[in-house]
Amino acid sequence: MFRRFRFLATVAGLCLAVGVMTTLVSYSVTLYRLFCQVTGAGGYTQRATVDTAARSDRTVTVSFNTDVAPGMPWRFVPVQRAVTVHLGEESLVFFEAENLSDHDIVGHATFNVTPDRVGLYFKKIQCFCFTEERLGTHQKVEMPVDFFVDPRMVADRDATDVHDIVLSYTFFESLKPKGAENLARFDNRPPDPASGRVLFATVCSACHEVDRNKVGPMLGGVVGRRAGSVPGYPYSTALAQSGVIWDAGTLDQWLAGPQHFVPGAEMPFSLPDAVRRRDVIAYLETLTPHAAKDQAASAAKQPPG
Ligand code: HEC
């Protein structure tokens, strides 16, 4: 009971709005609003962030399990069956839902992490404020979940033998929907820089900015640039000496698995979904290099490292 309370408290902490806590109590947690900072629901700046220093060499495989309540005419499946991540590495995964019926349906989901004892270490980063969600007739959408597994799991003797985690969601039909969100905001669309820009603002910007170095190097003008070449940023030796030139192809491989593409590189984040990678790369392609004086000014304000 205590553990469950602590877990709910952690999740609740991800959302700023106090009102959300009442909702959490009634439904547990669910659908993730990747775009909640855009809609002003808050939480983005207060979200859990990955502590780069705490990243661990240990990996776990997170697999995804989905279900709908009996009789609910939704197809609901994970886009990827499983991902293997380092502890502390942020990963963005997707789920697909489709309303197979001829009428609108509002659903809500519950989630569950097994084994139970690792639930505490499974952290979702986006503002996972729970709402009811509406899918129109035969509408199909992709829903993002952004998570990491807390490296503190290593220190927990109860969890040393855990190498596999299962994240399960079950959708239920809401019989008395009120204030349902329209899932169309997660709709499938061709790769485009505008959605890439939202993705960048939502996930990459925790570590990157366009015009100054932060946790990661600045990304203005990254396309066409040699990897590891922004002045004043303390790159890993691996990336600095990789000889990679950033273009759509190399960026795609990098974002799919940085340590796989450049062994020894230190970006603690990957984006397993190919469509979203194309979106964000399309956005990176629109960014122009920033003037040296901007760099100098921001380097003076905030020395990297
Ligand atoms: C949790 C922090 C974090 C997140 C989130 C993150 N990155 Fe990074 N990124 C880094 C770090 C740290 C490096 C430097 C890696 C090294 O030196 O090996 C890096 C390096 C890069 C580079 C290489 C740049 C260069 O100058 O060679 C690119 C490109 C990049 N990131 C793109 C992205 C994109 C696009 C996203 C979002 C989809 C993203 N990153 C999300 C931390 C992050």
Task: Give the domain ranges of the chain.
Answer: 2-186, 193-301
Closest residue CA from atom 39 of ligand 1 = 204
In DSSP terms, 106 is beta-bridged to: 134
Q: Is the alpha carbon torsion for 54, 59, 65, 66 positive or negative?
A: positive
Architecture of domain 193-301: Orthogonal Bundle (1.10)
Report the pLDDT value the prediction gives residue 291, as an integer from 0 to 100: 53
The segments of the chain whose pLDDT lies below 70 read 1-55, 124-132, 175-190, 290-305
Report the pLDDT value the prediction gives residue 206, as an integer from 0 to 100: 82
Residue 224, sorted as left (phi over 0), alpha (psi -120 to 50) or beta, turns out to be left
Tokens of 175: 């019989």
- How many Cβ atoms sit within 10 Å of the Cβ of residue 143? 22
Establish whether residue 235 lines the binding site of ligand 1, counting it when its CB lies within 6 angstroms of any ligand atom: yes
pTM of full prediction above 0.75: no
Q: Which atom of ligand 1 is nearest to the CA of 215?
A: 12
Establish whether residue 48 lines the binding site of ligand 1, counting it when its CB lies within 6 angstroms of any ligand atom: no
Tokens of 204: 């990459």
- 46: CA distance to ligand 1 center in Å? 20
Helix (H) or strand (E) holding 237: helix 237-240
- 268: CA distance to ligand 1 center in Å? 8
Establish whether residue 222 lines the binding site of ligand 1, counting it when its CB lies within 6 angstroms of any ligand atom: yes
**pLDDT averaged over every residue in the chain:** 74
Residue from 236, 239, 269 to probe ligand 1 pocket by mutation (most atoms less than 8 Å from CB): 269
Report the pLDDT value the prediction gives residue 110, as an integer from 0 to 100: 73
Instruction: Report which residue type is found at 287.
Output: L
- Contact status, residue 28 vs residue 111, Cβ threshold 8 Å: yes
Tokens of 272: 């397993």
- 208: CA distance to ligand 1 center in Å? 7
- 216: CA distance to ligand 1 center in Å? 5
Establish whether residue 265 lines the binding site of ligand 1, counting it when its CB lies within 6 angstroms of any ligand atom: yes
* Strand-pair category, 133-135 with 181-182: parallel
Report the pLDDT value the prediction gives residue 273, as an integer from 0 to 100: 74
* Strand-pair category, 90-99 with 269-270: parallel
Establish whether residue 203 lines the binding site of ligand 1, counting it when its CB lies within 6 angstroms of any ligand atom: yes
In angstroms, the Cα distances linking 192 to 196, 208, 282 are: 6, 20, 6
Report the pLDDT value the prediction gives residue 132, as an integer from 0 to 100: 65
Question: DSSP state, 79?
Answer: S
Domain 2-186 CATH (choose: 2.40.160.150, 1.10.3720.10, 3.20.20.20, 2.60.370.10): 2.60.370.10
Establish whether residue 268 lines the binding site of ligand 1, counting it when its CB lies within 6 angstroms of any ligand atom: yes
Establish whether residue 239 lines the binding site of ligand 1, counting it when its CB lies within 6 angstroms of any ligand atom: yes
Q: What is the pLDDT of residues 136-158, one digit of tens each?
A: 899 887 777 878 888 888 888 88
In angstroms, the Cα distances linking 144 to 6, 197, 248, 271 are: 24, 15, 22, 11
